[in-house]
Amino acid sequence: MLLNRMLLLSLGFTLTTASRSMPHARNREKQVDPAKPRLSDAPGLAMQGLSLFKNNKFINEGISCISCKELLKILKKFSASDHQFVAAGQGVCRALGPFIGIASEEICRQGVAEHGPLLAEVLRGIKDVDASDAATMLCNNFLQVCEVVSPKSNLVFPEPDESGAKAMSMISGRGSYKVTHFSDLHIDPLYRTGTSGECDNPVLCCRTKGDGKHPVGPFGYLKRCDAPLSLEESMYDAIQKVAHDAEITIFTGDIVERQVWHTTPKSNMESIKAAYERMKERFPQFCPAVGNHESSPANWFPKREMLTKKYNIEWLYSLLTKAWKGTQVGQIQAKHHRGRYVYRLQEKRLRIIGINTNLYYFLNLWLYRDPIDPDPEGQLRWLAQQLQEAERAGDRVWIVGHMPMGDVDAVRHSSGTFGDIVTRYNGTVSAMFFGHSHLDQYQITYAAGRERTPDTALAVSFVAPSLTPSNGFPAFRVYTVDEDSQAVLDATTYFANMSEASFQTAPTWRSLYDLKSAYGASFKPDGSFDNATAAIYVPTSAARWHRLTEEWEMDRDLFDRYWRNMYTGSGDVKKCDDECRRKEICMVRGGRAEDNCAGKAPGVKLGRRHDNQGAGEDRRSSSSSAREQDNHCGSSVLLDGLRALFDPDLQAKIREVALLRG
């Protein structure tokens, strides 16, 4: 989209603006009016930034590792001080105001002010762009150029306790219990019934009166707006109705709304504190995770040793420690949880380990510091130690986090180390629970360095859909879990159909599907189960999940069922063609980020994405997998911004606009 590209000219990927409301260049070509303010009216720094892009031959030749590093060198020239960096970016925003509109100019300036200082800090830390691993990793993660940076972990694992692993792999069939799982609330405290759901300024959608053509109801508006408090309460009512006997509740993070260009610690604290109070009233026994939107600025999770008065995340960790009191996790004595914890249910011989996956999120710019840290805050080493203790005690483990560790958003070296840990302790890890994608998904982790087959499939990540209706209808999950092995026996997704006339009066929550009914052939009992236990106590194991993906390769209708379920009942889903199906199957098999077919292989040329993102338009290309299409935690906007500098359409527009300077 031309607007996104013009907004992000001078900072590349600093801004995280609301691109969905802005039309693509092909639909918004506009003659420049000489009578309007010209670029020559902008500050000198902004002018210099634009002219650099016009004349740099490396950038004009297209995306490559060399051109990306040339871009970083240009940006680095503006990073001597935060003030200079922000002034340059905001100067460009003001200069482009006549061409993009007042609302978009304001979002542009807010985004620069919010995210510019951290990018400037990162650039200042890169001493030699050509020799920097941080620069290489930036180019690889944001543009899929340059080689993958793979700092080596020095983790060494002791030999497994074979007797413990063997005993825990057995399923007795003596009983089961329920677990509920919801994720990605993204509650907008300013949502107002009767306001406009369609607007040019995303700050105002569902918040202020519009033309009256698209009024929003009390329970939410599909795709354009985050969730109102009433929708959250409705979901909690439904959970207590369909799973009133659930013994554990899992919440995998993201409370704050997604307007990431103007958050503050104060507003985030208010939202987080209030949300956890509501959860504790309904679900006193729940296990949480910290989402990437909980920080301010969003995605901002510096390591402990990076903390200064200016750059501090302790307010969030301190808040979580207080907010989690009165829950299962809150019983653990800790000064700060720092987003991680271990809770043991002694009667079940189950340990729930929460990890802070934001330490591995590629939009966390604190990761781009030389030398690259293979294990930020030592969390992966800590995880291995906790799993070793659980193995020694003969306990089962669930791992709970926000971002799936095989997600396209996970940095590859951390995802690989995590996969090594799961490989070593696969006899102890019975399930993993995540959110973040806003999709109803699953991922399989395989033995490290082995071909992906049923025999090498080790663990399943259960990725819950979101409450906020960004991709599809609001939804949550209920699991049936074996009492002894703590393996997931079945999973049912419940949703509320927003297209029903009664939705805005009182949402009706009903079952969308359950695994064994939807994909029964892959979960049939084998000879190890007798007739009495076969129907219920067949686990949804990693091996069985792999066999299901093999069925999808042969059975188009069966795969299409999964594809539709991924969008939680929404009818606004394009058909997934053969290439799309191949990528999505690869994504399900991608418990390691390097294996998910949407990773950061060097030399890949990025085509246009999100070419049409107006109101009500389907954003899902038929040849792209779901996670390539629908990233609702900001990365698609950042990618568009950096990639935009190499777009021929934009470069032509830059030259056209620059000519007005005379």
Which of 419, 413, 429, 430 lies closest to 359 in space, CA to CA? 413
For residue 337, say whether it is annotated as part of any ligand binding site: no
CA dihedral sign, ordered 567, 587, 249, 333 = negative
CA angle 118, 13, 76 (to 5 degrees): 60
- Identify the three-state secondary structure at position 446: strand
Residue 413 marked in a binding site? no
Half-sphere exposure of 561 (CA within 13 A, CB side): 17
| C-alpha to C-alpha distance for 533 and 1, rounded to whole angstroms | 55
Calpha distance 536→519 (Å, rounded): 14
β-bridge pairing 475-482 and 457-463: unpaired
Of 337, 313, 312, the closest CA to residue 325 belongs to 337
Do the annotations mark residue 402 as ligand-binding? yes
Identify the burial level of 520 via C-beta atoms within 10 angstroms of its C-beta, where 0-12 means exposed, 13-18 middle and 19 or more buried.
exposed
233 touches 417 (CB < 8 A) = no
Residue 438 labeled ligand binder: yes
**Beta carbons of 404 and 461 less than 8 angstroms apart:** yes
Is 201 within any annotated ligand binding site?
no
Nearby residues of 494 by Cβ (< 8 Å), 6 or more positions away:
238, 242, 475, 476, 477, 478, 509, 510, 511, 512
Assign residue 223 a region (left: φ > 0; alpha: ψ between -120 and 50; beta: otherwise): left
Q: Read off the amino acid at residue 326.
A: G
Residue 62, phi-psi category: left (phi > 0), alpha (psi -120 to 50), beta (remainder): left
> What are the binding residues?
184, 186, 254, 292, 402, 436, 438
> What are the binding residues for Zn(2+)?
184, 186, 254, 292, 402, 436, 438
